[in-house]
C-alpha cells in the first residue's frame, strides 16, 4: 500500500505559479511511477503529467507542456508539479496517483493507477 497526500493548491491569478507536492508513505520501497491528474467540475479526470521511479522519463499532456514541470525527490518520497503561466482553464482539483509496474503505453490512463491522494484545489482567476 502507498498513501499519497497532495498539498500546495490555492488561488492564483492568471499568469501566476503554484507548486504542488505529493508526499508518499507506506510501501515507498516499491519502484512506483507517479502521475498528476486533474478534474474540473462536470468534466472527466484528465491526465496532466507523469514521472518514472528514477525520474529519467517524464510525460505531459499537450495542454500543459512547456508550462508545467514534474519532478521527484526520491529521498523525500515526494513528487512535485511546478505550474507556471497558469490559465483559468487550469482550474481543477489536482490528484496525484501512483502505479507499479509502469507501462508507457498507458501512462495517461487513470484506471492504471492503483493509489490516489485526496486531491488539492487549484483555482486560477482572470
CA 93 to centroid of chain Cα atoms: 10
Q: What is the pLDDT of residues 47-83, one digit of tens each?
A: 999 999 888 999 999 999 999 999 999 899 999 999 9
Contact between residue 13 and residue 124 where contact means Cβ atoms under 8 Å apart: yes
Q: What is the pLDDT of residues 73-93, one digit of tens each?
A: 989 999 999 999 999 999 999
Please give the Cα distance from 97 to 5 (Å, whole number).
10
Name the band, by pLDDT with cuts 50, 70 and 90, for residue 31: confident
pLDDT of residue 83: 98
pLDDT of residue 51: 96
Helix/strand/coil for 113? coil
User: What sign for the dihedral angle of Cα 115, 117, 118, 119?
Assistant: negative
Amino acid at each position: 500500500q502507498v498513501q499519497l497526500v497532495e498539498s500546495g493548491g490555492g488561488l492564483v491569478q492568471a499568469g501566476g505559479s503554484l507548486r504542488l507536492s505529493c508526499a508518499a508513505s507506506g510501501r515507498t520501497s516499491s519502484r512506483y511511477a507517479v502521475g498528476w491528474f486533474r478534474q474540473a467540475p462536470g468534466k472527466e479526470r484528465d491526465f496532466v503529467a507523469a514521472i518514472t521511479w528514477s525520474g529519467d522519463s517524464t510525460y505531459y499532456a499537450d495542454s500543459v507542456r512547456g508550462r508545467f514541470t514534474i519532478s521527484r525527490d526520491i529521498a523525500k518520497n515526494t513528487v512535485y508539479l511546478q505550474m507556471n503561466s497558469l490559465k483559468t482553464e487550469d482550474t481543477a482539483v489536482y490528484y496525484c496517483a501512483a502505479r507499479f509496474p509502469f507501462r508507457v503505453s498507458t501512462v495517461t490512463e487513470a484506471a492504471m493507477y492503483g493509489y490516489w491522494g485526496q486531491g488539492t484545489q487549484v483555482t486560477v482567476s482572470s
